[in-house]
Structure 1
């Protein structure tokens, strides 16, 4: 155990071999308050820090034994042991690592950032010491979050002297000789005398849960002795699943790990496990869930990946991936990620950003392979997470083409969301120059929209987009395969050049009468519509509303209006079907009895268009009165 500390400067006693008191140079009480209340946000990380230091010490002994015959006999199998004593209120973390001499105690536990691990890294070289964890030499003092007094009994491997370091963290510490029969053969034993607020760490189940959460992947086995005299029980085997070759991991082991990681009981739909090498080295184990997580649409929209640095858990919910991949369950382990002083929170650095970007690229490739090789399994993935993946179409233009390759859509040809854009383009009709879509929040209503009648009459497929994000990405995407996206509810239909597959009904009224009705509608509804025109897209319905050519689709305008931006988007256009009997009848009524007699009918048409579009009538009372009067006339 060598990685520790706080900012201080020691003054040893005259006789360096006797017990000595040392004074901290700085105001240690204030420093420890900063360490224990500001640097760390969770108290249980003290155990992670002590275990990390212990694992470092074991690694150091192993490296030193390679070139020192004297140490070779001492460098056995690495082991970290945690012992609990409820009666004495102590928690002890012991290791059989390299240990510390008196001078190393003063240096390692007596100087801020004078980390033994950092010095060792510099001496040994990064390529040989990548298994070491500690970097900053401050984690040791997190023990004072839970302890009134801390004791470190240690013996440097190969030396015949042992030492006891003691401190209450209030301005000084003591170092005294320790009898060899009371000291480790080699290594360190850190004993925490727990304070009154830390009873939880005397319970074996609590300690075990912390170890499994934070240190289960440490490269040294961890034993737990639940009470004095009890047999040690192995609670971590010292081998992280993601560090093993894929050939040595069974599907059942992957599934068990996924369930532990995600807290779900389904089987993952996709497992991706790889090691990246190059400028930055890291290992990734990623899962696509087989079922929808409960937080799928968490408003925070943050990915929740677990980040390990040299097999030590640094963050259980790092926001590493883009929001449109937040459903993934990911473990990342790297030795190259820069940490802040607490080793608890990862700095926003180019390295972290590069890793997140690379993982997003790789997982998109894995999803593409799944779509090609196992379309039925991918269809289930898209059913569960397609709405989230489509957020990337709007937020990540650089990956839009790759996302288009796997995106699945409902359409007038396939309401089950199985159509790809390649499928759509392959079925374009003669003279069709655009990819048509309609956006809304209800698939059944979209399929029945009157705006689609003209497209159906020509056999033109229309994408039915019922996810909230659809209203946004279609406005920013240029198109696909050279074909622009065009709303079926915006602007002129521009489909007259596409041949009809079924004959249109003849006009129910002369063109002049329809023109007069259109002019009257414009004037009567001037406060509510931008324009009124005879429709080429309607074949069975009397009227519909569409958005102007320039501006926003009706659904996007509706969404933005709900967020207080209604005044920005203008008024809709009313289209009337000149072949519909109701429109023809209204045109004849105006011809025979004048515009005033037809006004109620004109307002009724507008309200009907709003109702069909999912909006309430403009004047509910007036709508009810007009409809009642119309029914009464039928008698």
Structure 2
């Protein structure tokens, strides 16, 4: 029984996107055809892959191609493919909604976009190029049938926020998208998308490298002047990664990147690699110019495309690129793998592992070259992808040194310009043995921390580490060029050997107070001691050298890990009036309750100063209010 025509509404975010398209946010409308051809090419790749995997699939693969059909009278342009096609559910999920895991993020960024250029960036990031059809069309009709299924689906929309669905009984395998073009602008012939020359120009500019034939019916005149029509392939179909540098232009590389990434921006860097010998492969990799919206989402897809002897095998081949380089896009074409290779086999394949190692080293060396030859481009790279790359310090011990050499960090040396570790080491003071750092939620929190006081006073540079991953790698990476990493919020610091004698004398003078405070605050701290890192604050809280930081403790608990509570150390500034006054009051035998309240306030202030959370804020506030009232 036939299902009647059904009218549905687009998802809210899709409706907003359609409005952007209908009102033409792009200055270059030609790119709509690139997007449709790219989608068609993906469908052909998927069909060929599916027939390798499923030998029983009823699909015609005898002449896979893309075809452009024009009706100049009706002003329609149709892009057809005989690829994998879509089921009815596919149409609803893929065309009616936008990247479902990112819809809220998409809407938020869409609202923040202040201009057309910013909106254009978003369209590419969220992979919704099909909607670009509405830049040039008043109505779009799509007819599709998934390979192996009997019934097709007809989808139609005018971009007004709704679309219709109905069965298409005689639909051929694959997908056709028919654009009912907007009225022709007689003053601007450059946008006549029914013109043969225009379609050829767009295909040759944006889609020449597509490995499937793109066909167009063209007019020909014979020697007698008679006009005939014949179908012509209008793209070269030569894989871009197989061409020599002399055969490929920078513009072609950029368009190929946009084709495989569905990004509307140019890549930041292009990497071409060819390996010959016992194991041959070619690779064409790209570093994007901006981070994708889902860079840190668990459900994201990653990896490069894998081909074997020019035959598409899989998208998102994770085995060829590690997690920390998940933003790298591109193609790897191997000559010696089986066409029936699976993801499971890839994980164990020795050749894949060798390719992966070489690809990773090439990406890292490219970034290092970028550092020295194009600092601005490198700054963009690190701003967009640095937090992801630093994950490799934990997972890729083989390349840890290379990652440290391309890393940049904010520091107290220059608030506006990150520093490399090499630059930090070159600026180290005579006799300085450690690379000092502090982790925290933000630069302002770290810079205002009591832990920074002595380092600032004595002119020691401190790395300011605010990415969540920083909490983890600093405990796993012991050193850089023989200089050990040292947290200024952990362990004991010794910034001035001449102060040692004075510190020993102070320890004797404060011994009784320190012992009493350690007992009094035993539920919160494991030790109270004097500090050499404070100059103006009365106290701070530090961890032992191998303790988890409070932030890391929270991260593990958020992930469901059971972590025992870590007691830390309270350090006192022996020169601060509050501490010297507390010492005198203790020596004079002041009321135990009064002294205890002061100890609690001292600990609470130190905890708040580092951005920590009080276990009982109401109790702390009451103590503070009572103490302030007594001073009036």
TM-score between the two structures when normalised by the length of structure 1: 0.65
Deviations 1:383-439 (A, max 9, x none): 111111111111101101111111111111123452111111112223321111111
Q: How does 1:259-278 map to 2 (within 5 A)?
A: 259-278=258-277
Pair 559,42 (structure 1): closer, same or farther in 2 beyond 3 Å: farther
The one of 592, 595, 599 equivalent to 1:598 is: 595
Kept in 1: contact 2:537–2:576 (CA 8 A): yes
Residue 284 (structure 1) aligned with residue 302 (structure 2): no
Pair 474,286 (structure 1): closer, same or farther in 2 beyond 3 Å: same
Pair 220,632 (structure 1): closer, same or farther in 2 beyond 3 Å: closer
Residue 570 (structure 1) aligned with residue 569 (structure 2): no
Kept in 2: contact 1:339–1:347 (CA 8 A): no
SS of alignment partner, residue 614 of structure 1: coil
The one of 53, 62, 87 equivalent to 1:39 is: 53
- Between the aligned partners of 2:422 and 2:343, the Cα distance in structure 1 is 48
SS of alignment partner, residue 613 of structure 2: coil
Residue 399 (structure 1) aligned with residue 399 (structure 2): yes
Map of 1:243 onto structure 2: 242
- Between the aligned partners of 1:396 and 1:342, the Cα distance in structure 2 is 24
SS of alignment partner, residue 475 of structure 1: coil
- Between the aligned partners of 1:205 and 1:307, the Cα distance in structure 2 is 31
TM-fit CA distance, 1:145: 1.6
Q: How does 1:234-633 map to 2 (within 5 A)?
A: 234=233, 236-300=235-299, 303-319=302-318, 320-340=320-340, 348-416=348-416, 418-497=418-497, 514-565=510-561, 567-568=563-564, 570-592=566-588, 593-633=590-630
Pair 46,585 (structure 1): closer, same or farther in 2 beyond 3 Å: farther
- Between the aligned partners of 1:329 and 1:360, the Cα distance in structure 2 is 12
Deviations 1:501-541 (A, max 9, x none): xxxxx99x986663332222111110111111011111111
Q: How does 1:160-199 map to 2 (within 5 A)?
A: 196=169
Name which of structure 1's ranges 347-356 and 241-250 shifts more when overlaid on structure 2: 347-356
TM-fit CA distance, 1:219: 6.3
TM-fit CA distance, 1:446: 1.2
- Between the aligned partners of 2:175 and 2:430, the Cα distance in structure 1 is 77
SS of alignment partner, residue 361 of structure 2: helix
SS of alignment partner, residue 525 of structure 2: coil
TM-fit CA distance, 1:270: 1.0
- Between the aligned partners of 1:218 and 1:396, the Cα distance in structure 2 is 35
- Between the aligned partners of 1:390 and 1:540, the Cα distance in structure 2 is 34
- Between the aligned partners of 1:343 and 1:433, the Cα distance in structure 2 is 47
Kept in 2: contact 1:458–1:499 (CA 8 A): no
Name which of structure 1's ranges 457-466 and 231-240 shifts more when overlaid on structure 2: 231-240
Map of 2:215 onto structure 1: 223
Pair 51,242 (structure 1): closer, same or farther in 2 beyond 3 Å: farther
TM-fit CA distance, 1:302: 5.4
- Between the aligned partners of 1:91 and 1:241, the Cα distance in structure 2 is 21
- Between the aligned partners of 1:327 and 1:91, the Cα distance in structure 2 is 29
Q: How does 1:137-148 map to 2 (within 5 A)?
A: 145-146=148-149
Pair 625,235 (structure 1): closer, same or farther in 2 beyond 3 Å: farther
- Between the aligned partners of 2:482 and 2:341, the Cα distance in structure 1 is 52
Total equivalences in the alignment: 462
Kept in 1: contact 2:306–2:317 (CA 8 A): yes
SS of alignment partner, residue 573 of structure 1: strand
Kept in 1: contact 2:68–2:214 (CA 8 A): no
- Between the aligned partners of 2:178 and 2:312, the Cα distance in structure 1 is 19
- Between the aligned partners of 2:55 and 2:628, the Cα distance in structure 1 is 70
Pair 612,199 (structure 1): closer, same or farther in 2 beyond 3 Å: farther
TM-fit CA distance, 1:338: 2.4
Pair 217,368 (structure 1): closer, same or farther in 2 beyond 3 Å: same
SS of alignment partner, residue 530 of structure 1: strand
Pair 427,514 (structure 1): closer, same or farther in 2 beyond 3 Å: same
Pair 379,355 (structure 1): closer, same or farther in 2 beyond 3 Å: same
Pair 220,549 (structure 1): closer, same or farther in 2 beyond 3 Å: closer
TM-fit CA distance, 1:575: 0.6
TM-fit CA distance, 1:498: 7.8
SS of alignment partner, residue 409 of structure 1: strand
Q: Any unmatched runs of 5+ in structure 1?
A: 1-34, 53-79, 85-89, 94-141, 149-193, 501-505
SS of alignment partner, residue 247 of structure 1: coil
SS of alignment partner, residue 354 of structure 1: helix
- Between the aligned partners of 2:515 and 2:481, the Cα distance in structure 1 is 41
TM-fit CA distance, 1:334: 2.2
Kept in 1: contact 2:209–2:256 (CA 8 A): no
Kept in 2: contact 1:217–1:312 (CA 8 A): no
- Between the aligned partners of 2:217 and 2:347, the Cα distance in structure 1 is 36
Deviations 1:321-373 (A, max 9, x none): 01111111111122222232799996752222221221111111111111111
Q: Any unmatched runs of 5+ in structure 2?
A: 1-48, 70-79, 84-144, 152-166, 180-198, 219-227
- Between the aligned partners of 1:617 and 1:81, the Cα distance in structure 2 is 65
Pair 434,345 (structure 1): closer, same or farther in 2 beyond 3 Å: closer
- Between the aligned partners of 1:143 and 1:406, the Cα distance in structure 2 is 47
Map of 1:156 onto structure 2: none
Pair 599,376 (structure 1): closer, same or farther in 2 beyond 3 Å: same
Residue 201 (structure 1) aligned with residue 174 (structure 2): yes
User: In angstroms, what is the RMSD of aligned CA positions?
Assistant: 4.0
